[in-house]
Structure 1
Amino acid sequence: MGFDQPKLVAMYIDRRLSGLQAVQTLARLNRIYPSKERTYILDFRNTIEDI
């Protein structure tokens, strides 16, 4: 079934992400949940161009 946590609203990234790995990792925040209105990503390694 994989990782599914709809309450997750923040993610700290401290390693390089690219391709499918980037999509799968960032998509973990893209789950709906009552009263969840925003998500936050603090990325220490990647640039917009990398993602």
Structure 2
Amino acid sequence: MKRKIRCRPLPMPPVFAWGDTTVNWSRDVDEYMAIRSYNRMCDLLRRRQRRR
């Protein structure tokens, strides 16, 4: 049984100002990194499925 994992790359959040030191800033960074790693994972999965 082949499980097909479908995932669209999420849009990247707008680039945040690195000089900003508010609480929102760290949350933005977290979201940005999470989306980046998610998109990279999706990319790898998609490539692996294409090879089969």
TM-score scaled by length of structure 2: 0.32
* Structure of larger gyration radius: 2
TM-score scaled by length of structure 1: 0.33
- Which has a greater percent of helix? 2
